[in-house]
Amino acid sequence: RSLTVAFAGTHVVTLPNAVYAEGSEIYIRTTLPNAVNSSANTVVPVTGTSTSNYICGATDGAWALLRSDGTNWVTIASSQV
């Protein structure tokens, strides 16, 4: 799955429930300086272990690849570390 955010401003996306999506991946990218956040605190950053709702910062071309571990969405790779 992939999602491109092409609207100005901060966006909130509702990710699928990680419990039912184990092993699934979602690629999210921006084409404008948009911040993208999850509607729930279930995203684990590349460089951490605590969950938050942060997916991408407000930078042109920001992207993140998320994978469900059966509990949370883990950021596997990102343009912003």
Closest C-alpha among 73, 76, 74, 55 to residue 4: 55
Residue 18 DSSP label: G
Which is more confidently placed, 71 or 4?
A: 71
| Tens digits of residue pLDDT in 31-71 | 888 899 999 999 999 988 899 999 998 888 999 999 999 99
Does the pLDDT of residue 81 top 70, yes or no? Answer: no
pTM score: 0.91
Which is more confidently placed, 72 or 6?
A: 72
Q: What CA–CA distance (Å, rounded) separates 63 from 20?
A: 23
